[in-house]
Structure 1
Amino acid sequence: MAAHKNRLASESSPYLLQHAHNPVAWYPWGAEALDLARREDKPILLSIGYAACHWCHVMERESFEDEAIARHMNDLFVNIKVDREERPDLDHIYQLVVQLMGRSGGWPLTVFLTPDQRPFFAGTYFPPKDALGMPGFPKVLDKIADAFRNRRDDVEQQAQEITEAIERAQRAPARAAGVAAPASSDLLRRASRQLLARLDPRHGGIGSRPKFPNTMALDVLLRRGVLESDRVAAEGVELTLDRMRDGGIWDHLRGGFHRYSTDERWLVPHFEKMLYDNALLLRLYADGFRAFKKPIYAETAREIVGYLFAEMRDPEGGFYASQDADSEGREGKFFVWTLEQLRDAVGEDQLAYDMARLVFGISEEGNFEDSGATVLSQHRTLEQAAAVIDDGAGGGPSTHLDRCRDALARARVAMLAARDARPRPARDDKVLASWNGLLIGALADAGRALDEPAWVDAAARAFALLERKLLRGGRVGRYLKDGAPAGANREHGGSGAAVGDVRPGFLDDQAYLGNAALDLYEATSDPRYVDVARAIADAMIAHHWDEAAPGFFFTPDDGDALIARTQDIYDQAAPSAASMAALLCLRLSEIADERYLSPAERQLDVLAPTALENAFGLGQTVCVLDRLTRGAVTVVVVGEAGSASAAELTREAFKVYLPNRAIVLVDPARPESAAAVEVVAEGKPARPDGAVAYACRGRTCSAPVTTAADLKALLA
């Protein structure tokens, strides 16, 4: 028997380190734990979560820190703790077990495995005692251990059936013979009809409670609304963007979005803040500004970036993974307000007090659980609040409104300073390649859309960090911790082969960062980024492509041998890796080399039937299919890099909402600029008196234009 010793203290994952002092004999996933389970023929208790997860913290406090429950776990099981952000391959596989058993997935994920890693029972959070219709965790442990000892044949049969179901569930069904790919004219209409049937017409968003941003679904509706003039789809997106910004899911003091709302009104959030949500919403609000021209959307984008720069940036330029929901052992305590706390923050500034109280809805009774505290929201507009206040200072209505506006600004500054003095939620300081890729692309694109060159610079700096420390031979590692590569396939984690000093990550790392390189190319016109994107795509095809499916596997061919090799075709909180891999190849085929078209087309051909049946689950695939079937518009600017005329034309191209778009620069004095985009560079002469622009779809291009106004008209 192995000694009951917790083995997490030497891990790099902040989530695993949170559990390093539990009395549970936790192991990280790897050969030591798996060999022990086989050797002693003991079932495995696999617990998966992440550092910012509120219910993970609850289960830790209630069960994993309890000496009696820990002894029970240690006696009956080999206990393995996994950070789902570090090992999404394991989470993909074992999250399906709960869903196959007819329940909703989530975290903490609790899965029971045979010694050869096959799952036979799973759940999420279990209370320490029977409660709310759920069995207590000790009772679950006893029943599972008893079944493994005394009904082993039944356990083995269930494990085999679940494993086979996992393999089937993660493969897109083959298209029936003779069924053609959807035409572009029908694709968005069919997808939007499904999504609009689930849209909340009062509060926006998809479904009721809990309510997530679901940015991929909103991207589909925005495309349909703008590109195909569907007023209902456009209004659904606009309503959602407005209500999310007004609600408590938005941080009204610092900026940035919390993970989701526990109610249908976006009022009371689950308070953790995730990098991927804010990256995706940054791009969505920038696109919303392009489409609807509402200044509040540009302001929202700027405040998202302000939050990320202030609280989530690594000293070397990367961005951290998440901020916790909890502080001082309570969810949301850092973010909520009482009237007494408001008074302490603003002091004797009565107008600031009244404006904050009315605008943010701070009340004596509160709106957060039974705490008497208030989650801030846009309870009233500035004008509505000013209308009910008489500050006694005289002057006309506009002067009064100005005083109220200044008072609200003073209140926000004072409240933020007071909040910053509170004990802060923990921060998961992993710099994940995949999520940084999402943000780098969003910063580059939104920075050009909103004329914020510092954002593009920040994107380039973050990319340089990942390129320097995680990119080897075109393969992207999983993450950095304390400035060093860590994560997937570490020495205790399995068979993954290292490339230099970095062990390759997963498909999302490759696909997200490859697309980010192309976003940076468009934002900077530096052709080197196209070369990097091609190197990533080449390695991705070499190590993740499955000719038999055909399609991209989530794990590389030299990664850990698990019970199933999944494909990650469904969007979760972030877009599916398979759809983003197809997008990378498709974008490269449009500007750099047409040989990348084949893997893109073949992956999308496999995904298309499922996407048409389930636009909510495959929203990103719908968007990439739209790009393939509709065709991208490539804006080719020919002129001197850095010249005023070239800058004017590219600036105009970035202002237009045109999601299936590429912007390339060909500088006649720099042959490498044409070589990087050889598919579209040929046959477009320069002019001696300034830059010109062409709008191309496929091989067909417009006549050259020389002014921003002419280009705007052309793109419209």
Structure 2
Amino acid sequence: MDPSTQQFQNRLRAEKSPYLLLHGGNPVDWFPWGDEAFAKAKREQKPIFLSIGYATCHWCHVMAHESFEDADIARLLNDTFVCVKVDREERPDIDSLYMAVCQMLTGSGGWPLTILMTPDKAPFFAGTYFPKTSRFGRIGMIDLIPQVRHLWAHEREKALQTAQHILETLQTYHIKSAGSPENAPQADFALLNRAGHELTERFDRKYGGFSSAPKFPSPHTLMLLLRQWKRNGHAPLLGMIEQTLQAMRRGGIYDHLGFGFHRYSTDERWLLPHFEKMLYDQALLVLAYLEVYQATKKPEYAQTAREIFTYVLRDMTDPSGGLYSAEDADSEGVEGKFYVWSVEELRALLDAEDAEFALTLFSFEEAGNFYEQSTGQKTGENIIHLRQPLPNQECERFERIRQRLLETRKGRVHPLKDDKILTDWNGLMIAALAKGGQVLNEPIYTAAAERAAEFIFSTVSLPDGRLLHRYRDGEAAIAGHLDDYAFIIWGVIELYEATFEPKHLERALTLNQQVQAHFRDAAGGGYFLSANDAEPLPLRQKEGYDGAIPSGNSVMMLNLLRLARLTGHSEFETDAERLFRAFSGMAAQNPTAFAFLLTAADFALSPSHEIVIVGDIDAMETKQMLAALRAEFLPNAVILFRPANQDAPEILRLAPFIEPYQCITSKTTAYVCRNFACNLPVTELAELLKQLTAIS
């Protein structure tokens, strides 16, 4: 909805977040999170109605239309509460805390997230979506608000005691779950193998994936399994990974016309997606497809990665180089309308022969294969998907049809694009683009990664080098969280290995210093979500489990291990071990929830591979050696490059241990070390390949 068409205005009209701006014309007297709202609540002795969501959240739009755009509900809200709106993507610290409250009180969570709390930010009630009127056992806003008003007016002490109890319980759980790193279990292969066993037990052998409906891509789970396959050569593990990636690529969860993946599948077959597209999903899925391409050499995985990059660079890249956050599921108020087709539309657009070919290929039904989730009724429209791989001889024909349908689709009303640029999600895509540049030998991807990184460091950072979290419409704001630092470090490490420009490695080390200074939990190990000088919340959280994206702590563990191997600073490995033990107790109870932490543990436990190339970066023999390295799946390797034509190259300042490494007989030379023991240097590609075979 366009806020400018509404007669109301509230304080959200001055915000930058597309989600908050969507509510800027609500009759609800919304405040953004900040001192003004809490001061008003204290002054008027009102509770806070906190609503958290994001721009591409379908049920957030539903609740907004039902309740927040309704004058009667707005009047009740304004009379009873001080109302605060938060974009969860702008403030993951606020969202994480109050989502933990909701999960503790209700056993589940999701968005929109609804929290009632005191003027001191202490929650006493939590839930997700509430309809306008009560139905099917779910209380409606029109009944809930008067009950809360009565409670606050006549039994306020009860609400305050509830709030205090919630915070004390949450604090106790937080301390207990964090445990003590000194007494926590150490990393071992038994824990990694148990995670693999549990995933194998959960694997859907018919459709792929590791759950029934709904099905999420969870690429970091696939990356963990791929490392277990690499370690033990157990073929069924690779089979599960490939079946899942192939099923997703053929399913309706993939946009076969414009490319890129939708958020998740609402059914077990990967057919009916929740249609929003998130930048982080594209980044993590690219990394999974690239790794499986390295492991199998099957071109279909490289092709999928290229197509995702096509989507991101075409539709999700700002002229400045930064990367947008998401695209909505809805257009014209209907989820999926932009993406679905009727049989009649295809017959009208294509000649008779191509139309019948496409209808059969896409398994279109006259009644449609797309149905309303709320009613289960088919809509007469179809989601494009493939039941079988596309035959090679039909690729050219398919491409002609795809272009025709894509061109037609461009004329439809497009879903909302959330064009804010988030530092953490940009970090993930920088890592993916840089890895794609290496594996696919495509300089365009590396260049895009460098542009995005330069944008973050030049525009979404403070003069002292600390990161900000969000940029939009000319404004960079909100202090960076752990994920911002962890994911950007990941991205610039990949950029170093893609370009061998020392500035990228130096930036990783500088950001790591910021993490140690402002996020480190000196007592318990690991890192807090928010900095030590950030706005205080009722609880400072520290998370290790994965959600839709890996946790900042898990990524930091892998960052520390890679930086230790790249620079020779062993203290980083000590930090990584302490971090792991901060979460290892919880990981031992539920290992699959800590997939990326275990991926980092695999790096620490498996034989390490440090590879140093010495030579001229532009020489053909150097390029051939690097191409050979990048073609292999070497998840526990780091690669350094020392220029042979410089007396004191900058890299020696960052990685002084490679100073003795020299060219032999003026030829590009590779030094391959495995598990802290080095082979003899080689100058011939055949010898390097032989050593890589031994590693593999």
TM-score normalized by the length of structure 2 = 0.94
Give the 5 Å matches for 1:424-573: 424-472=414-462, 473-486=464-477, 488=478, 504-573=479-548
Counterparts of 2:690 and 2:108, CA distance in 1: 49
- Candidates 164, 173, 179, aligned match of 1:174: 179
Residues 179 and 544 (structure 1), Cα distance of their counterparts in 2 relative to 1, 3 Å cut: closer
Counterparts of 2:488 and 2:370, CA distance in 1: 39
Contact kept, 8 Å, 1:147 with 1:155, in 2: the verdict is yes
Contact kept, 8 Å, 2:28 with 2:77, in 1: the verdict is yes
Contact kept, 8 Å, 2:369 with 2:380, in 1: the verdict is yes
Which residue pairs with 2:665 in the alignment? 688
Give the 5 Å matches for 1:227-242: 227-242=231-246
Counterparts of 1:676 and 1:128, CA distance in 2: 63
The amino acid across from 1:182 in the alignment is: A
Which residue pairs with 1:636 in the alignment? 612
Which residue pairs with 2:644 in the alignment? 668
- Candidates 625, 628, 637, aligned match of 1:649: 625
Counterparts of 2:654 and 2:610, CA distance in 1: 11
Report the 3-state secondary structure (helix = DSSP H, G, I; strand = E; otherwise coil) of the residue aligned with 1:122. Answer: strand
Which residue pairs with 2:375 in the alignment? none
Residues 134 and 414 (structure 1), Cα distance of their counterparts in 2 relative to 1, 3 Å cut: same
- Candidates 396, 404, 416, aligned match of 1:406: 396
Residues 709 and 166 (structure 1), Cα distance of their counterparts in 2 relative to 1, 3 Å cut: farther
Residues 353 and 168 (structure 1), Cα distance of their counterparts in 2 relative to 1, 3 Å cut: farther
Report the 3-state secondary structure (helix = DSSP H, G, I; strand = E; otherwise coil) of the residue aligned with 1:61. Answer: helix
Deviates more, 1:173-182 or 1:60-69: 173-182
Contact kept, 8 Å, 2:557 with 2:576, in 1: the verdict is yes
- Candidates 346, 358, 361, aligned match of 1:359: 361
Counterparts of 1:177 and 1:7, CA distance in 2: 49
Give the 5 Å matches for 1:259-270: 259-270=263-274
Report the 3-state secondary structure (helix = DSSP H, G, I; strand = E; otherwise coil) of the residue aligned with 2:592. Answer: coil
- How big is the alpha-carbon RMSD for the aligned residues of Structure 1 and Structure 2? 1.8
Answering whether residue 696 of structure 2 is matched by residue 706 of structure 1, we say no
Answering whether residue 326 of structure 2 is matched by residue 322 of structure 1, we say yes
Contact kept, 8 Å, 2:40 with 2:82, in 1: the verdict is yes
In the TM superposition, what whole-angstrom CA distance separates every residue of 1:234-260 from its partner, at most 9, and x where no partner exists? Answer: 211111101111110000111100000
The amino acid across from 2:61 in the alignment is: H
The amino acid across from 1:516 in the alignment is: G
Which residue pairs with 1:416 in the alignment? 406
Contact kept, 8 Å, 1:210 with 1:264, in 2: the verdict is yes
In the TM superposition, what whole-angstrom CA distance separates every residue of 1:77-108 from its partner, at most 9, and x where no partner exists? Answer: 11000000100000000001221023321111
Report the 3-state secondary structure (helix = DSSP H, G, I; strand = E; otherwise coil) of the residue aligned with 1:578. Answer: helix
Counterparts of 1:531 and 1:230, CA distance in 2: 38
Answering whether residue 158 of structure 2 is matched by residue 154 of structure 1, we say yes
Residues 658 and 679 (structure 1), Cα distance of their counterparts in 2 relative to 1, 3 Å cut: farther
In the TM superposition, what whole-angstrom CA distance separates every residue of 1:105-140 from its partner, at most 9, and x where no partner exists? Answer: 111111111111111111111111222331112212
Answering whether residue 251 of structure 2 is matched by residue 247 of structure 1, we say yes
The structural deviation recorded for 1:13 is 0.6
Contact kept, 8 Å, 1:12 with 1:481, in 2: the verdict is yes
Report the 3-state secondary structure (helix = DSSP H, G, I; strand = E; otherwise coil) of the residue aligned with 1:617. Answer: helix
Report the 3-state secondary structure (helix = DSSP H, G, I; strand = E; otherwise coil) of the residue aligned with 1:546. Answer: coil
- Candidates 277, 280, 286, aligned match of 1:276: 280
Residues 693 and 299 (structure 1), Cα distance of their counterparts in 2 relative to 1, 3 Å cut: same
Report the 3-state secondary structure (helix = DSSP H, G, I; strand = E; otherwise coil) of the residue aligned with 1:42. Answer: coil
Deviates more, 1:406-415 or 1:141-150: 141-150
Residues 609 and 363 (structure 1), Cα distance of their counterparts in 2 relative to 1, 3 Å cut: same
The structural deviation recorded for 1:693 is 1.1
Which residue pairs with 1:392 in the alignment? none
In the TM superposition, what whole-angstrom CA distance separates every residue of 1:42-81 from its partner, at most 9, and x where no partner exists? Answer: 1111000111111111111111001001101111111000
The amino acid across from 2:525 in the alignment is: P
The amino acid across from 2:498 in the alignment is: A
Report the 3-state secondary structure (helix = DSSP H, G, I; strand = E; otherwise coil) of the residue aligned with 2:157. Answer: helix
Which residue pairs with 2:103 in the alignment? 99
Report the 3-state secondary structure (helix = DSSP H, G, I; strand = E; otherwise coil) of the residue aligned with 1:616. Answer: helix
In the TM superposition, what whole-angstrom CA distance separates every residue of 1:384-433 from its partner, at most 9, and x where no partner exists? Answer: xxxxxxxxxxxxxxxxx84x543322211110001111010010001111
Residues 234 and 178 (structure 1), Cα distance of their counterparts in 2 relative to 1, 3 Å cut: same
The amino acid across from 2:426 in the alignment is: N
Contact kept, 8 Å, 2:652 with 2:659, in 1: the verdict is no
Counterparts of 1:282 and 1:200, CA distance in 2: 22
Counterparts of 1:380 and 1:668, CA distance in 2: 51
Which residue pairs with 2:384 in the alignment? 376
- Candidates 582, 593, 599, aligned match of 1:623: 599
In the TM superposition, what whole-angstrom CA distance separates every residue of 1:342-386 from its partner, at most 9, and x where no partner exists? Answer: 12332xx22221221111122211111121111111134444xxx
Structure 2: segments with no counterpart, 5+ residues: 1-7, 372-377
Residues 470 and 176 (structure 1), Cα distance of their counterparts in 2 relative to 1, 3 Å cut: closer
Counterparts of 1:382 and 1:584, CA distance in 2: 39
Contact kept, 8 Å, 1:127 with 1:135, in 2: the verdict is yes
The amino acid across from 1:373 in the alignment is: E
Contact kept, 8 Å, 1:44 with 1:113, in 2: the verdict is yes
The amino acid across from 1:690 in the alignment is: K
The amino acid across from 1:688 in the alignment is: T
In the TM superposition, what whole-angstrom CA distance separates every residue of 1:454-482 from its partner, at most 9, and x where no partner exists? Answer: 10111111111111112333311102112
The amino acid across from 2:553 in the alignment is: A
The structural deviation recorded for 1:179 is 5.7
Counterparts of 1:440 and 1:705, CA distance in 2: 32
The structural deviation recorded for 1:627 is 1.3
The amino acid across from 1:659 in the alignment is: P
Contact kept, 8 Å, 1:191 with 1:612, in 2: the verdict is no
The structural deviation recorded for 1:287 is 0.6
Which residue pairs with 1:304 in the alignment? 308
Which residue pairs with 1:611 in the alignment? 587
Residues 341 and 121 (structure 1), Cα distance of their counterparts in 2 relative to 1, 3 Å cut: same
Counterparts of 1:707 and 1:245, CA distance in 2: 39
Answering whether residue 43 of structure 2 is matched by residue 39 of structure 1, we say yes
Report the 3-state secondary structure (helix = DSSP H, G, I; strand = E; otherwise coil) of the residue aligned with 1:478. Answer: strand
Contact kept, 8 Å, 1:515 with 1:584, in 2: the verdict is yes
The structural deviation recorded for 1:602 is 1.3
Counterparts of 2:627 and 2:653, CA distance in 1: 21
Counterparts of 2:182 and 2:277, CA distance in 1: 45
Which residue pairs with 1:60 in the alignment? 64
Q: How many residues align?
A: 676
Counterparts of 2:145 and 2:592, CA distance in 1: 36
Residues 696 and 408 (structure 1), Cα distance of their counterparts in 2 relative to 1, 3 Å cut: same
Residues 47 and 303 (structure 1), Cα distance of their counterparts in 2 relative to 1, 3 Å cut: same
Counting aligned pairs with the same residue, the percent is 40
Residues 241 and 381 (structure 1), Cα distance of their counterparts in 2 relative to 1, 3 Å cut: closer
